[in-house]
Structure 1
Amino acid sequence: MKINRVFLYDEPTVPEIQIEKLQKFLKDAFPIKVEIRKNFLEYSSKDVFEKIASVRIFDLKKPFQKHVPSLKEIEVEKKNQDASGQEEMFLYDGFKIQEIISEVIPKNENKFDTLHVFFTNKITCTFDEGDFRYHARALISSNPTIISTSGIVEAPAKPKQFYFELMSNFSNEKIEDVKKKYKGEFLEYHDPRTSQVIEGYLLQTIMYQETGETFCDQNDCRLFNAHWQKDLLYTQIENKKFCKKHLEIIKKMSN
């Protein structure tokens, strides 16, 4: 393998990541060293909170424009609280967050054979030139890699009927009723299935580092790029298998 070491940077506000379990998963799957580190904010400079606040997205239909954050916005970033499920959740440019995160990687660990994976509770987004708008992303593959626990919940779409029922009578009570009706059909914040799903995203980013390909186009493969929650749950929890092509690649990487 091109990679021989992986660093996993924790997100303490989301214990469902189960980072020790993910460490064991990678060690069992590949002949690599896997180390756990604290959240990247623990290693960052004092101005990191201002930098993070400055890459918030306020207009989904415009490419990135740097924001001049207020003192209140900077204070919110310092607290790094669990904002899951709140009415107001901030969006961030994923590539800009990636640049900020890169600054905490020691120079002697910034190598091709070392992969850095950062977990975050922030909703990371990328601007799509195809439809000229930002989209939430669960995974931003590169080195460093970002896995957004909020993106896992928000990026893959819920069942179409879920949205239809919300639109027919939108209210806080209605939202809760519809969520109960479709409970189990999509991931929620602090979902106990989170860690299992993250295993798939880890496999995808390692595949990208090794082959240059992140996703598979077959929806029965664990490397499938799921745009719907039902596909995400099927590939990562119900099926947990690879297509023939990627199974062969995984076998070679595992030896």
Structure 2
Amino acid sequence: MKIYGCHLHQKLIKEALFIFSGWMGESMQLLPCPLKEAYSLAEAFARIRVISPEGVLNWDPFSLEVDFETRRLKECRCGKGTVYDGHLYSFLLRHRVEGSWDEGVVVITPDYLCSRQKGEDRYHLRYIIFDFPTLISLPGIIEAPARRSEEGYLWDLGDFRIPRILAALLIQTRFFFWNEEPFCDDPLCSLYNAHWQEELLVAKGNQRLCERHSEFLIKRKRSDPIIVSKKCETVRKKHPCE
């Protein structure tokens, strides 16, 4: 799998790749950020800014907004608070990354990303956007999942738990490129689709797959041609935080 990452977060990304490789037995190729010197995309990025959670994009940007995007791309000012439509962001990067669907391509970004819930017009902040390439938003890991209280949670990227969480998101991405089904109903499986931060800490922090996905991973490692084409059939368990 090919990983593109911001040079400002190389240490964090390399720690996550070390954890991922040890678990999955798969080597990763870390490549420089595909946004570097992508000045021609400045206006396009200005257009995909989300200016209202109710599904409103910035289709007619001011020249100052385009200038800001030009400086952002030139001076590596990503992650300054602007929120982008995640799938359109991925589309803009599609021709700036190398690799195939079978290989898997991930861009780890300090930008804020969002997408619409299926059947809704409203945008929601995300920590991962499954597309080609898949995007992982570093600030999204902290801010996208809801909190039930203020104790024991993630506050910044310096938290010692972040590399393990990022590694688990890379594992989800690996499953996405294998079978387009990166989620599991088991709240203790690292593929669980966590919406609350405590769920994220439990699912992504325990470095565990459910029985079904563990078997699938073993068969993949043995080059078995099995393809998982339906959702995990694990019985929905009560989440330990509930």
User: Counterparts of 2:113 and 2:131 in 1: how far apart (Å)?
Assistant: 14
Residues 160-239 of structure 1 mapped to structure 2, 5 A cutoff: 161-162=149-150, 182=151, 184-237=152-205, 239=206
> Partner residue of 1:53?
46
Please give the per-residue CA displacement for 1:5-42, whole angstroms capped at 9, x wherever unaligned.
x11111223345x2223333343344544211111123
> Partner residue of 2:139?
150
Of all paired residues, the percent bearing the same amino acid is: 25
- Name the SS for the 2:165 alignment partner: helix
Match of 1:242 among 206, 209, 213: 209
Q: Cα distance, 1:241 vs. partner?
A: 1.5
Query: Using a 3 Å threshold, how does the CA distance of structure 1 residues 188 and 20 change in structure 2: closer, same or farther?
Result: closer
Q: Tell me which of the two structures has the higher relative contact order, counting C-alpha pairs closer than 8 angstroms and 6 or more residues apart.
A: 1
Q: Does residue 90 in structure 1 map to residue 58 in structure 2?
A: no
5+ residue gaps, structure 1, are 1-5, 163-181
The alignment's C-alpha RMSD in Å is 2.3
User: Counterparts of 1:94 and 1:185 in 2: how far apart (Å)?
Assistant: 25
- After TM superposition, the score normalised by the length of structure 2 is 0.80
Number of residues paired by the alignment? Answer: 219
Runs of 4+ in 1 over 6 A off after TM superposition: none
Residues 8-19 of structure 1 mapped to structure 2, 5 A cutoff: 8-15=3-10, 18-19=12-13
- After TM superposition, the score normalised by the length of structure 1 is 0.77
Please give the per-residue CA displacement for 1:88-140, whole angstroms capped at 9, x wherever unaligned.
x211000110011112024xx3x232211101111111123534200011111
Q: Does residue 112 in structure 1 map to residue 106 in structure 2?
A: no
Amino acid at match of 2:7: P
5+ residue gaps, structure 2, are 223-242
Q: Does residue 99 in structure 1 map to residue 97 in structure 2?
A: no
Q: Cα distance, 1:55 vs. partner?
A: 1.1
Amino acid at match of 1:224: Y
Q: Cα distance, 1:66 vs. partner?
A: 2.2
User: Counterparts of 1:35 and 1:129 in 2: how far apart (Å)?
Assistant: 33
User: Counterparts of 2:101 and 2:193 in 1: how far apart (Å)?
Assistant: 25
